[in-house]
């Protein structure tokens, strides 16, 4: 007489369900890890097509999220972290008794990530030289000042713009220039004061590294 243990059948069914979930998670992690080198190569290609000194934020418009202005370099760094985490997750989900083809593909994928990540990061870092920052302080209505500092060889220049309250798009208003790749805003050689909704910025540097507005001092006034 055959006796079937209900608890044993329940355990087997639960084990099969866990195994299916593990395999789905492994396939998802593998897919992410496989796509990462391709995505990073695309980011590097886009970054290399950007002319030195041209805007290198994510779109032709400069977008700011609070104090953060996303750039291609930041996207590349995030992709690198996601790729390595996905590969590690796929390895852990596969377990030590994984089939030989999977072990071989794991080595190939790891090698691709090891080669693609530093190569892409170097290309993007060398191709996008601009540094974005949202200056501390704001007007009474919440208007902010955004700065883009760029360098190429021994020259440097930058743009200053306004971020209206409730907006994420920077309105560039003026430009400055400096010598010897000097970045006055990153170096802290500036002052910012608000007079109502109008910002007044003074630039200075050192005797050997002067910084000045390219034409006239920009009108940094918010409409709000």
Q: What residues pair up with 220 in beta bridges, in sequence order? A: 199
Name the pTM for this structure.
0.61
Question: What is the tens place of the pLDDT at every residue in 68-93?
Answer: 888 777 777 888 888 878 877 877 77
Closest CA to 145 of 137, 154, 153: 137
Domain regions of the chain by residue span: 6-127, 131-221
For the four alpha carbons of 105, 107, 108 and 114, in that order, the dihedral sign comes to: positive
State how far Cα 145 lies from the chain centre. 20
Question: What is the tens place of the pLDDT at every residue in 102-121?
Answer: 556 666 767 777 777 777 77
Lowest mean pLDDT among 94-98, 143-147, 181-185: 94-98
Contact 116, 37 (CB under 8 A): yes
Q: What are phi and psi of 87, to 5 degrees?
A: -65, -40
State how far Cα 172 lies from the chain centre. 21
């Amino acid at each position: 007489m055959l006796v079937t243990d209900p608890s044993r059948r329940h355990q087997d069914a639960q084990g099969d369900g866990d195994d299916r979930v593990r395999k789905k998670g492994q396939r998802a992690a593998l897919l992410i890890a496989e796509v990462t080198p391709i995505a990073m190569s695309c980011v590097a290609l886009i970054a290399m097509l950007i002319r030195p000194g041209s805007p290198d934020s994510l779109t032709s418009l400069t977008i700011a999220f609070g104090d953060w202005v996303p750039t291609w370099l930041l996207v590349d760094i995030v992709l690198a972290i996601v790729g390595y985490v996905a590969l590690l997750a796929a390895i852990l989900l596969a377990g030590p008794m994984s089939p030989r083809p999977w072990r071989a593909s794991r080595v190939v994928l790891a090698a691709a990530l090891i080669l693609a990540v530093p190569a892409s990061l170097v290309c993007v870092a060398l191709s996008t030289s601009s540094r974005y920052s949202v200056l501390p302080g704001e007007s009474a209505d919440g208007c902010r000042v955004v700065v883009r500092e760029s360098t190429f060889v021994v020259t440097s220049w930058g743009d200053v713009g306004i971020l209206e309250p409730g907006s994420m798009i920077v309105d560039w208003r003026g430009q400055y220039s400096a010598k010897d790749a000097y970045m006055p805003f990153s170096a802290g050689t500036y002052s910012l004061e608000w007079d109502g909704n109008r910002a007044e910025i003074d630039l200075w540097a050192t005797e050997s590294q002067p910084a000045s507005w390219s034409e006239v001092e920009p009108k940094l006034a918010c409409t709000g």
